[in-house]
Each structure stands twice: as C-alpha cells, then as structure tokens.
A and B are shown apart, each in its own frame.
Chain A
C-alpha cells in the first residue's frame, strides 16, 4: 500500500429536507468536496457511493451512484455503490482508500447520501412472517437490550447515558451543519417520550437527510494541490462472528476493527486527539468508547460523566455533535465523520476546534445479523 491522503471534503447541512432529492443531496456534497480540493469533475478517476435505502420503492431500480454523479459531470469512470447499513459511507471511504493505496488510481471519490424523511417505516425495521417480524422487533430495541445488559453487568445508569446526549448537543450547537441547534439537559433527556425502555427519544439520533463526500489521492497529487497533508493512516473493516450466545454489552467486532486500524496506523488509542464515534443511541457511544480502547470495559459511563470525552477534555468524542445532534443520514454518516476529521486536522473546525489536533479516529458499525453486528469500520487520519 502506498500513502493515501484526504485532499477535499464536503457535506450538505444535515436535517429534514422534504424538497431535496437524494440526487441533489449527493451532488451538492460532491461539488463541495471538489471545490475544497480544487479539482474538476474530470479529475476523479474512480467513485464509490455509500447508501442503504435507495431501491425500487424509492424510484431507483439500479445504478443510483451513476445517476447522482452524472449530475455533477462525473462520468466514464468505474462507479460502484456499496451497502453496509450504517457503515456504508465508511465502506465507501475504505474502497477509495484501497483504490488509491493499491496504485491503481491516483484520485478517488467517496460519497455518502441518504434520504429518510417521507420514506415510510424506519430503516432497518423488520416486518412480515420472519422471526424478527413476529417478535415485534424495532431498531432501537437492539440498543435498548444492550443498555439493559450494560446496566446489569457494569452498573451503568440512565443518567450517564443522558450525559452523552447533553455533551453531543453541546458540541453540535457549535456546528453550523448540525441538525439540532439546541442544547438539552439530563432532565430533558430522561423526561422525553420513552421509545424502547430504557431509551427515550433524546437518547436516540433523529431521522435525517444529507450527503457528504471525500476525495482521496496519492501523495504526488496532493503535493501539487495543498500544503495541508492529511493522511489516511488506516481504514479497517470487519464483519461479525455471529456467536449465538455472545455478550451483547460488548461489540467484539469493534475491538477487532479498531485493533487492526491501530496496528496499520502504528498508534494506540492513547495517541488520539479526538474521535468521531457512531452514537446512534447514547448507550452506543458508551459501549463503543470501551470497544475502541478509550477506557476499560464497563467504564464508558464514567468516561462521559467525568468529562473526558467533552470538548476541552482529554479525548473529545464527537466534536461535530455526532449522530445524536448532527443527524444520521445513514450512508452519509461515515463520510461526514471523515469530513469532520479533515476539518479538525486542518484547524478549520471553528468554535468546536480540538486545539492542536494531529490524530483523529472515525468509527461506524452497521447492520443487525444474527444478534451480532454486520459491519464495523474504523478510519484513522493524521497530519
């Protein structure tokens, strides 16, 4: 593998945009990333799209990546859509990283986009005569059950979980692209409507539309365009092991993905200055800060309680506001995390800047497969 750099990033504002099409959201993000890199459409040599929900039902029978990219003049190149549920965007980044790292291409585009408002049942909902369907499976329930186990095994409290939402809302208020501009209190999180016990509405990320894009390139190309050299030090991806009686309070897949990423990057969790972590629910950030090695198993609740993961703390987690505040347009999320990493490492993150940030980590996991997680991606960028 040769060295790969992140040279241009862009994202739309995240939120509910009933009047914007999935094509427009994707194209706006790609155009922003090209402007950021100083590239023209003809410069892109290979492209990957991360997206979960586009299908026949949403009017895209096939080749939605090509449909999006033709509208920004990107054509005549290898173009592929990848799907790994909530890790779809991270998977697109990994594909782009491999395309450049292998030496086959010099400039690769990863775009993630998702349109979720006005689109019927929640993504990842299960219906019909399946085991999940007849059990009454609801997507937040998986994390509700993990929360219940985490509380029983480690003494984690609902107040500690609420503090994740309070922190990420506080961070995201400083991010003009975030869905929610308002802070919340622990009391407000706990008194918001219960969705799946013990998780409330404000323990959960919102329904979001949005797009994000990142352009990766070789060192030779980057040197011609910029002096801000941001390296993709690792882009690891793992699948589950599907052990039927596993401990669901630990996401073992994330331990494996992060271990591989740290090894490739030649660093450990203690070398990180900040991280963007897949906080689809408050408990998810707690579990994942443990799995990614930021603290010991069972200590994730204490980590947020003590302010370690807040801006100004030792290891800020989700300075962008995370999924809980910035929003979670599924396919776009992993790419938007990389955009945040680049902005932080360039010291362009405004009021939410992590001072002197040199190394950042982005994590996304996706998909419920046989009581395990389908995909987990860990990406490390450094300057």
Chain B
C-alpha cells in the first residue's frame, strides 16, 4: 500500500492511523492544508512547521454527482463529495462515503478513512483518503 501523494497523506502516523499532512505557523497558529512554506497571515519565512491533522470533522457542504459524463475515471455515479471542515480551521475537499440520503447532511460528523483508488504497474494498492459519515 502506498499513499497517492505522500506529501498530502500519510497512511500510518505514530498513532497507527492515517492522517492528512498540514503545516502550522508557530507564531499565529494558522494551519494550512495543503502545506505552505510561507504563513499567508504573517508573511514571514521559516516559521511554518509540519503538522498532522485530526481525522474527524463536519460536512460544510456536499453534492451527489448523478451525471455519468461528469464523473472522472474510476468514479461510478451516484457518488458524493463535499467540503469537510476540520477543527484546525481547515476545509478539505473529499469524496464522502458510508452515507445514505438521510445521513448526508450539512454539519454531519465524518472521519477519515483510506480507500484504494487504483493499483500501480507493479500491483501495489494506491491509497487515497475519504471521509465517512459517522
């Protein structure tokens, strides 16, 4: 198993769980995902350090893609994606899984899970992240 992008997602951090990789300004506390070298609030160099995002958040908004011609390769309609707000003040675009029309709602609680998005040339699983409705 390998991450689809090791800069964005670690499959197993020290706590044994998958995490999105952000960066955090040591001065103002602003968290960036994807990672930023420069804090866009302080605009000073060298004050931003690596940071693991927590894996739970809430749906800010969502849509269910129903039109087949709009679905990128590897996606079968209907599927849901949306913005997930994390407690660090970060909003992440993600496919949403484990939902039903009753549970797919604004403010619904979600948690990060790994999902195989495809296999590479040597048969390894390429893993992406999803948020699953809790």
Contact = CB atoms under 8 A, between A and B. Distances in A.
Interface of A: 122, 125-127, 129, 131-141, 144-146, 148-149, 152, 193-197, 199, 201, 242, 244-245, 248, 371
Given A141-B65, A196-B67, A127 B72 contact: yes
B62 interface: yes
Contact of B70 (A140, A244, A245, A371): A140
A195 B106 contact: no
Nearest to A152: B106
A129 B95 contact: no
Given A135-B95, A245-B91, A145 B82 contact: yes
Interface string B117-128: 100000000101
Contacts of A152: 106
A129 B66 contact: no
Given A136-B79, A196-B70, A244-B32, 19 more contacts: A126-B72, A127-B72, A131-B93, A136-B71, A138-B72, A145-B61, A145-B63, A148-B61, A148-B63, A149-B106, A152-B106, A194-B67, A195-B67, A196-B64, A196-B67, A197-B66, A245-B85, A248-B60, A248-B83
Nearest to A193: B67
27 contacts: A129-B126, A131-B34, A134-B4, A134-B95, A134-B117, A134-B128, A135-B94, A136-B81, A136-B95, A138-B67, A141-B63, A145-B61, A145-B83, A148-B63, A149-B61, A149-B106, A195-B70, A196-B64, A196-B67, A196-B70, A197-B66, A242-B40, A244-B32, A244-B89, A244-B90, A244-B91, A245-B91
A127 B93 contact: no
Contacts of A133: 72
Find the residue from B40, B93, B106 having the highest chain A CB count within 10 A: B93
Given A148-B63, A196-B63, A138 B94 contact: no
| Shortest Cβ-Cβ A-B pairs, 4 listed | A144-B63, A145-B61, A138-B70, A195-B67
B5 A245 contact: no
Contacts of A140: 63, 70
Interface residues of B, number: 36
Nearest to A131: B93
Find the residue from B5, B8, B64, B90 having the highest chain A CB count within 10 A: B64
Interface of B: 4-5, 8, 32, 34, 40, 60-67, 70-73, 75, 79, 81-83, 85, 89-95, 106, 117, 126, 128-129
A69 B85 CA distance: 48
A199 B5 CA distance: 32
B81 A137 contact: yes
B114 to A, nearest CB: 11
Nearest to A199: B63
Contacts of B65: 136, 138, 141, 195-196
A137 B106 contact: no
Find the residue from A129, A138, A245 having the highest chain B CB count within 10 A: A138
Contacts of B85: 245
Given A131-B93, A193-B67, A371-B83, A125 B61 contact: no
Contacts of A126: 72
B132 to A, nearest CB: 14
Contacts of A242: 40
Contacts of B72: 125-127, 133, 136-138
Contacts of A137: 72, 81, 93
Contacts of B128: 134
A328 to B, nearest CB: 16
